[in-house]
Copies of this chain bind each other. A is one copy, B any other.
Amino acid sequence: MPLKTREEYIESLRKLKLNLWMFGERVESPVDHPIIFPSMNAVAMTYELARQPEYLDLMTAISHLTGKRISRFTHIFQSREDLLQKVRRQRVIGQKTACCYQRCVGMDALNALYMTTYEIDEKYGTEYHERLKKFLIYVQENDLVSDGAMTDPKGDRSRRPHEQADPDLYMHVVERRADGIVVRGAKAHQTGFVNSHEVIVMPTISMTEKDRDYALSFAVPTDTPGIVIIYGRQSCDTRKLEGSEIDVGNSMFGGQESLVVFDNVFVPNERIFMNGETDFVGMLVERFAGHHRPSYACKAGVGDVLIGAAALAAKYIGVDKSSHVRDKLIEMTHLNETMYACAVACSSEGVPTKSGAYLIDLLISNVCKQNVTRFPYEIARIAEDIAGGLVVTAPSEKDFRSPNVGHYVEKYLKGIPSVKTEARLRVLRLIEHLTLGSGAVGYRTESMHGAGSPQGQRIMIGRLGDFDFKMELAKVIAKIKD
């Protein structure tokens, strides 16, 4: 069984020679860096759960290529049930980490490429699909984490890739060799790169003939020469350096983001999955986004934690039975389940593609994500409402532990007599973390822009909404004849 243990995963990361920079300094050992550790630990949870018998079905599947039991994060969806297991799994791990565990993007990339390379080959007689299958088997056999890298920096949004003042603002081929290609560009907003073994690069928007050098997909190891990673700042990032378990809110898990530069990176032929087929770029982008949007079912898991935290905060001050508090918890739940339901629905209505792999219902997938760009914000707002002002005014753990003023904090921030002040502080810090701190980056902003910004979904909903069909329905009812 090619399933790594948590420890094996961490060891495998240590072997990577990432060229990673943070605050102007090179980071030598990412897995041990206190700012990075929680995000690595969240990925590690996917390994840990996969080896627990109770999660066997949820976390693992039988490879349709090798017949071996593999992580579902490396699996190609063979059925609607596979699609449904994905969204259920996303939620469960979200509940256990309350953050982005980064591993779905590579899974969604593999699936989108699997079905698209099949159709490219069918049209052009290329061999991308076979290459991808080989890469896939390698990933499955070694239980690797792949980062899916789509978003180019894009520069001036009113111009196409080949029209940019700087041609590198979209990733492109700068040299073609017999054994491969050399590429240049960057990928922004890379959430899981630092904790990944491989990066799968895809183009970010539909392209025309003139963008041929930009119609590009490939995979390379994350420590390939020429790759430079610059770590992104997050709200409250340096709080993790202070050594306070309470103040960080979620001390074990967290997210991260980085800007990844490809400065003349060589890609060998066997790792190239698209190279100039501009007419398939739209399909690849749409399918990747289609798969990735319901992956945000994880936010329903994070939402479960935040609802629980709000309920605790209310209980700790004796208002949990108050009708308006209860109604707010119900509203949070309602919104959270609505998001989740959309993720379930687009999986339940999935369909097989030519390759045999299943694709979610694209319309509902986009509807799902559009709700994700709204509801976590409202859930967070209600959580802040229930939490009360202390969520942003409570003193530091250092003050709480201080021999000089700690007793004041203990005395005056006490809620109901049966609960310790520390418990109240902890739950408030968790709410702060998820609504304003580094957790909010994952829960709010990533919900907004991850897997495509809101307008991206609206364009798709407009395209898939089939207004012509609906106009015909109305004409029949109103007895309108043209």
Q: Considering the chains assembled together, what is the distance between the CA atoms of A96 and B25 in angstroms?
A: 36
Could you say which residues of chain B place their CB within 8 Å of the CB of A392? 232, 234-235, 257, 441, 445-446
A471/B189 in contact, CB under 8 A: no
Q: For residue A159, which residue of chain B has the nearest CB?
A: B318
Determine if A305 and B474 form an interchain contact, defined as CB atoms under 8 angstroms apart.
Answer: yes
The residue on B at minimum CB distance from A191 is B393
Known contacts A159-B318, A346-B341; A430 and B478 CB within 8 A of each other: yes
Interface flag for A311 (CB, 8 Å): yes
Interface of A is mostly: helix
Query: Which residue of B158, B311, B333 contacts A319 across the interface (Cβ within 8 Å)?
Result: B158
Give chain B residues whose Cβ lies under 8 Å from the Cβ of A461.
330, 333-334, 337
A391 and B471 alpha carbons, distance in the complex (Å): 17
| Contact indicator A390/B189 (Cβ below 8 Å) | yes
A324 to B159, CA, bound (A): 17
Interface residues as binary, A114-157 with B (CB distance below 8 Å gives 1, 0 otherwise): 00000000000000000000000000000000000001011111
The answer to whether A330 touches B458, judged by C-beta atoms less than 8 angstroms apart, is: yes
A166 to chain B, nearest CB (A): 7
Query: Is A416 positioned at the interface, with any CB of B under 8 Å from its CB?
Result: yes
A385–B426 CB distance below 8 A: no
Contact: A373 with B395, CB < 8 Å?
no
Known interface pairs A252-B477, A414-B166; A368-B341 also in contact (CB < 8 Å): yes
Q: Which residue of B lies closest to A19 (CB)?
A: B405
- CB neighbors of B among A341-385 (8 A): 341-342, 344-349, 363-364, 367-368, 370-371, 373-374, 377-378, 381, 384-385
A-B contact pairs, 14 of them (CB 8 A): A25-B398, A95-B473, A155-B317, A157-B322, A235-B432, A238-B242, A324-B327, A324-B455, A329-B467, A341-B345, A381-B444, A392-B441, A392-B446, A427-B474
